[in-house]
Amino acid sequence: MRRRITRLTPPKAKATTRTTAATLAAGCTALLLTLTACAGASTADTPSGDKNGDTPPKAQAQAHAQARAQARAGIPRAPVPRGTGSRVPYDFNGDGHRDLVIDGLVKAPEDSHGDDAGIGIVYGTDDRPLDPAARQLLSARANAAKYGDTLPAAFDSEAACDLDRDGFTDLIVSTDPPYNGIGAPPVPLQLLFGSPEGLTGKAVTLRIPQQARFGNEWPELPVCGDFDGDGRTDLAVTTGAGQVTFLHGPFTRAGAPRSAELLPDGGPYLYAPEPRRDTDGDGYDDLVATTRPHAPGQAGRGTLLLGSAKGPVRPGGAYTFATEKLPKAPLHTTGTTRTTLLAHGDYDGDRKTDTVVRTYRGERQDLIALYPAGNTKDPVVTFSTALFLP
């Protein structure tokens, strides 16, 4: 049976082989056209409404429907800008602007128990650091590779890096391939390659040679990095018995690494160190192995595996993920809200680290906000993932 991996991402914990119910957005969407922050802030409010502290269902549904309509009307879709390639991280269309990947998109009330809508991509443009008008929806139906005759239902982002060295960031996604429990399970990881138009076309299944796998474990939790210091992006993937599948880049468009091997030391969960992948500045990216899932911006402990010419094999001692105090996106709602870190990165080109957070209430409402470096009060971009609703 496949080992389930819990990832603490909004709106609730989810597995790498997940079909996750997402949330429906409300509030702040009327101001989306100007891409400025909504007034006010959201915390664990004292709700008004019925005796349980919830808005009456009929009124709530009407508010959701109105918010969804405002979101779509406020920011009409614009073409993804064409790029020529860059070295900017998370730049899927290669135009020199960092882009944002979003899982767990909100849903309409009538579809609250359905499958995930897919993965949302919001592109950076010359006009603004993240432009919700330049957006793209990736789904299993439109973009996943089949396993035999079966199309996977799950389609969730895992990592992003330029695997084929063409100047366009590629996306690694997790799926839920069919498995009869006999022998080694199929590889659930697929690759979507970037292009001047962004992430388009069909994914290909990541090819992991049998000698780089262990037993009948599922390869999961890929981490990007130049672990062997040769200037090419590699992938480290979990495998059984605390080992690591090390896939040397570059990768072909068929999903094959240059070479692959099994490393002896690792853990059930793998992550990149924060905020720098190369913790000791020696030119080799490093890796963190943990025994428990780690959510970005939250405290955690693990073991540091230092990169080397042979990959992340040198012991680096204990590693601690620091707790980060996050600003709250100004989501107008009643009830308790939660805020999670979506990304850190330079979105406005000033070579300083900006912060993107997502504030949500249960599975009904969300708001994403981009805060520039040094400013945790005034987001420069806000939008709801209701933009991706059909």
Q: What is the 3-state secondary structure (H, E, C) of 286-351?
A: CEEEECCCCCCCCCEEEEEEECCCCCCCEEEEEEEECCCCCCCCCCCCCCCCEEEEEEEECCCCCC
Going by their DSSP bridges, the two strands 204-205 and 220-225 should be labelled as unpaired
CA 103 – CA 183 distance, rounded (Å): 31
pLDDT at position 41: 35
Sorting pLDDT into bands at 50, 70 and 90, what band is 51?
Answer: very low
Q: In Å, what is the CA distance from 120 to each residue of 5, 137, 199?
A: 22, 5, 11
CA distance 273 to 285: 9
* pLDDT (mean) for 130-136: 97
Structure-model confidence comparison of residues 155 and 7, the more confident one = 155
| SS3 (DSSP) at 31 | helix
Amino acid 382 reads T
User: Among residues 103, 124, 100, which one has the least CA distance to residue 23?
Assistant: 103
Q: Specify the residue for token string 């037993």.
A: 215
pLDDT at residue 49, as a whole number:
42
- Residues contacting 168, CB < 8 A, separation 6+: 83, 85, 91, 92, 93, 94, 162, 193, 194, 195, 196
Contact assessment for residue 102 and residue 116, using Cβ atoms and an 8 Å cutoff: no
pLDDT at 24 over 60: no
pTM recorded for the entire structure:
0.83
Terminal alpha carbon distance of the chain: 35
Question: What pLDDT is stored for residue 85 in this prediction?
Answer: 98
* 359, 11 Cβ separation under 8 angstroms: no
Which contacts of 289-293 are long-range, i.e. CB under 8 A and separated by 24 or more positions? 289/242, 289/244, 289/265, 291/267, 293/5, 293/6, 293/7, 293/8, 293/269
Span 60-75, mean pLDDT? 54
Q: How far apart are CA 107 and CA 258, in angstroms?
A: 40
